[in-house]
Structure 1
């Protein structure tokens, strides 16, 4: 068998033979036992890797004492806090499967997920316990609620009273698993194109993914975690940072100025951000009031940043060397990452393939693999990719070679750097031409008054779909529809207009991981 010259092959990661993600992270933490692992920016409290490892072991042993076994699902519903990560790692080490619950969800969405995963134990923050226990009770699968803090609650025991078991870390061994097939995580799709689907990930897959997510250069660096740990981007970065031996600084408050205050106070070296946050920093009127000279690197994921935005954010941070873009999916973790690119970041690119990935780009019409600089659907396979969705047919998601069909349109260049253009289902059919809304959005985002923008197609008898922009302006800034339409038309290189006009909103609807919810925008039309 010969390699297909149109396929892009990445290096393989070096993984331990036990293929147990929990044991892998536990061993890594002990390598950095004297380094500070976590800092709560709201309280100033800190935890070393040695202390985090000990809490992980005690959590795993206490779960085992409660009857948790390999194959059981355990969930956490909480905002960011110290106990959350030690609980997560303890679940892994107990051989169980972890499925996070989003504290911000309403009754319907959160119960949809719980009914699929059927957790045996539910950890909650006091806030989440008050909000959701009554709803969780209706599912009938949860044997025990454990509430973070020192006080028992009616119907739940405190985390302090749950932690009954203790052993020295060096005497502990994680419950054995078959890492190539046993599930370590069940996450969920964003739900922007239908009901959210359960996404199981194996121990081997998560190990492979976290190696791609954050490289060893973050060892000893102070990294600011701005995303929630119940979504894939937030959890993936947190686990990757712990693997690398970074000091992870976090806040339960993720506002613009909260971020800047944490950077100044804790001399943050590396920022994990979403694209909307990057744009907010570019246009910030208060950024110059804070000392951000410690920042040397930024990671951004979810949607691509335009080259102009990368250059603009470098202009706001005096010592910022690199903006690393990541292309990832909940189904696969870090598919491409500029951390891994041999020649460093490249404007507009999301980098080169993550460890263990084989990627092909298929022509949208012929479905044949294409070469460099030709657009098509990005398809890939890797140990990191989910074995398949839960409770739904997977026939439409994998091709005959076992490649996952991402639904993303993109291409790679001669150096095998990848570029993401848009989603197949989101292309706007304007006068028989497929228009990528992301390209229009990147232009409108350059306007000094625009904070965020989403473009969708409105049904139109004359042109098929009329591109329509939903725009949220920065506080205190003004812009008219006519001004934004003219701004766009002066910069496009093809005959096109915002035929559907501009609609102003306070904020755009987003799914998990800050992904723009285009389905909600179309409903708003």
Structure 2
């Protein structure tokens, strides 16, 4: 029966107990513990696998076991309770990643409190905005973050206690080693503060801010317990996984906690760079790489990759923005034993929405997989808001137990439609088998003569040129067409290419509507935002400023 017939039959039936033929439904096989307590679930996994190596700092070669993390977690939770922290209160960390960071998070949750991360590299305005939303009572900080941002924290006035990581003290704060006033004698005797996992927030993270200022997103214990199962299989205990993201980024945080949940071995660098990462892969024979799409592009274009043994790498896990099929095929050529690039489609408001992990037909290049546990997805027309069938592009809307019920302080109350679906702002489609493909953000689409053009499609074409290292495409105002695409390009070291050559490279491969009518502008680096996505706001600003001169 055709889709049209199924939809007609659906509209003439009592729809309360029928699945909509144009909606895609995730598996309902997700498992959660009876207590539905994220902190307890992770703590119990630490105790169970206490002899497994939990984390390795590849720069210093320091290691820490899950047993040591469990002891630290329990001691932090008890010390927070002794300090007076109670269920539902917010505790933040403003620091780069280190061994104590993750047990601090789990300890916060085990104390019944809610954890909210803060990026120490932010300026005062974006940091102040997030502190005003979360209003933490306790702040864990690196010394540098404390010195840089204390005035900002004090402006909100919610922080009562500052705890400094490291051995160097600061006025008005307590050293972490002095904060640890309590200890649990036997790991199995520790019991976290009970929570209502269906309602209570384990985390407060922040939206990306692509549609205004970032919003506070409460993540329940239940929500995380479900969506974390779509990022790593339970059989990952002891598997070496490279963690490229900072823990204060939502993607890095959720992935790190997923690793703890299954007792995987996380390896990371504190010194950034491709060489440091490749040395870690070779030394620790890593099987899984957790990367951003920009990291994958760098590896494809790398001039040093062949100097390292990366034969143990079987999987790359990627999120943030989608990776096109051409790039997946290219990275497989550079890493011969790579079995798959697992693309996660996720967002702060819902966690892992789609994943290849449980897709019925395995990975599909260019796709983000099928809906994760408990999710219902629909694709709607950008104008009429009517649901669309396979291979039709529209806005992706999502519903499920992992989706935020409301932003903190109920900002943006119109975020959901009349059926309760969250409007993601992402343009995409699904194929006949229910695999989803993400095209672009609605706000990033280039409007050429009322036709919406995804900049990512230009970028994928330009990255196929051997001289191109990085590229970012945005719309440039045009009196006749509304907008025309302009490309900012960073060339590979030692390579040359002219604007005419690169424009012809695109124009010879696309229709008239997708030609690079705005031309090419060369730059040393493409600006990225905190999530390692192309900072299109900055590029659009450059276009306006350069054209004004």
* Structure 2 counterpart of 1:313, from 331, 353, 359: 331
Q: Deviations over 1:13-42 (max 9, x none)?
A: 111121111111112222222111111111
* Structure 2 counterpart of 1:62, from 79, 93, 96: 79
Is the aligned partner of 1:418 residue 2:401? no
Name the residue aligned to 1:449: 467
* Structure 2 counterpart of 1:510, from 528, 539, 543: 528
Name the residue aligned to 1:132: 149
Name the residue aligned to 1:9: 25
Name the residue aligned to 1:198: 216
Measure, in 1, the Cα distance between the counterparts of 2:410 and 2:88.
Answer: 20
After superposition, where does 1:426-441 map in structure 2 within 5 Å?
Answer: 426-441=444-459
Measure, in 2, the Cα distance between the counterparts of 1:147 and 1:467.
Answer: 48
Q: Deviations over 1:397-422 (max 9, x none)?
A: 10111111111111111211111111
Is the aligned partner of 1:232 residue 2:250? yes
Q: 1:446 to 1:217 in 2, by over 3 A?
A: farther
* Structure 1 counterpart of 2:95, from 78, 86, 96: 78
Name the residue aligned to 2:40: 23
Measure, in 2, the Cα distance between the counterparts of 1:32 and 1:492.
Answer: 54
Name the residue aligned to 2:8: none
* Structure 2 counterpart of 1:379, from 397, 406, 414: 397
Give how far 1:493 is off.
Answer: 4.1
Q: Deviations over 1:264-316 (max 9, x none)?
A: 11111110001111010011001111111111110111111111110110111
Name the residue aligned to 2:63: 46
Measure, in 2, the Cα distance between the counterparts of 1:107 and 1:90.
Answer: 28
TM-score between both structures, scaled by the size of structure 2 = 0.93
* Structure 1 counterpart of 2:120, from 103, 106, 130: 103
Measure, in 2, the Cα distance between the counterparts of 1:475 and 1:125.
Answer: 36
Measure, in 2, the Cα distance between the counterparts of 1:417 and 1:85.
Answer: 33
Residues 190 and 512 in structure 1, CA contact (< 8 A), matched pair in contact too = no
Is the aligned partner of 1:121 residue 2:138? yes
TM-score between both structures, scaled by the size of structure 1 = 0.97
* Structure 2 counterpart of 1:323, from 317, 341, 346: 341
Residues 453 and 514 in structure 2, CA contact (< 8 A), matched pair in contact too = no
Measure, in 2, the Cα distance between the counterparts of 1:449 and 1:406.
Answer: 35
Residues 325 and 337 in structure 1, CA contact (< 8 A), matched pair in contact too = yes
Q: Deviations over 1:108-162 (max 9, x none)?
A: 1111111121111110112222222233222221111111123432211111111
Give how far 1:431 is off.
Answer: 2.1
**3-state SS of the aligned residue for 2:61?**
coil
Give how far 1:464 is off.
Answer: 1.2
Name the residue aligned to 2:283: 265
Residues 120 and 143 in structure 1, CA contact (< 8 A), matched pair in contact too = yes
Residues 92 and 140 in structure 2, CA contact (< 8 A), matched pair in contact too = yes
Measure, in 2, the Cα distance between the counterparts of 1:33 and 1:11.
Answer: 32
Is the aligned partner of 1:458 residue 2:476? yes
Q: Deviations over 1:143-185 (max 9, x none)?
A: 1111112343221111111111111221111111111111111
**3-state SS of the aligned residue for 2:156?**
coil
Is the aligned partner of 1:177 residue 2:195? yes
Residues 242 and 267 in structure 2, CA contact (< 8 A), matched pair in contact too = yes
Q: Deviations over 1:57-95 (max 9, x none)?
A: 111111010000111110001111001001011011111
Give how far 1:512 is off.
Answer: 2.7
Residues 213 and 236 in structure 1, CA contact (< 8 A), matched pair in contact too = no
Measure, in 2, the Cα distance between the counterparts of 1:409 and 1:285.
Answer: 34
Q: Between Structure 1 and Structure 2, how many residues are aligned?
A: 525
Residues 47 and 188 in structure 2, CA contact (< 8 A), matched pair in contact too = no
Give how far 1:201 is off.
Answer: 1.0
Measure, in 1, the Cα distance between the counterparts of 2:207 and 2:116.
Answer: 12
Q: 1:339 to 1:456 in 2, by over 3 A?
A: same
Measure, in 2, the Cα distance between the counterparts of 1:405 and 1:413.
Answer: 20
Residues 337 and 354 in structure 1, CA contact (< 8 A), matched pair in contact too = yes
**3-state SS of the aligned residue for 2:31?**
coil
* Structure 2 counterpart of 1:165, from 169, 182, 185: 182
- The list of structure 1 runs, each at least 4 consecutive aligned residues, that deviate by more than 4 angstroms after superposition, is none
Give how far 1:365 is off.
Answer: 2.5
Name the residue aligned to 2:417: 399
Of 103-112 and 132-141, the range deviating more from structure 2: 132-141
Residues 208 and 355 in structure 1, CA contact (< 8 A), matched pair in contact too = yes
Q: Deviations over 1:304-339 (max 9, x none)?
A: 111111011011112111111111111111111112
Residues 192 and 511 in structure 1, CA contact (< 8 A), matched pair in contact too = no
Structure 2: runs of 5 or more not aligned: 1-16, 544-549
Residues 151 and 157 in structure 1, CA contact (< 8 A), matched pair in contact too = no
Q: 1:74 to 1:385 in 2, by over 3 A?
A: same
Residues 87 and 113 in structure 2, CA contact (< 8 A), matched pair in contact too = yes
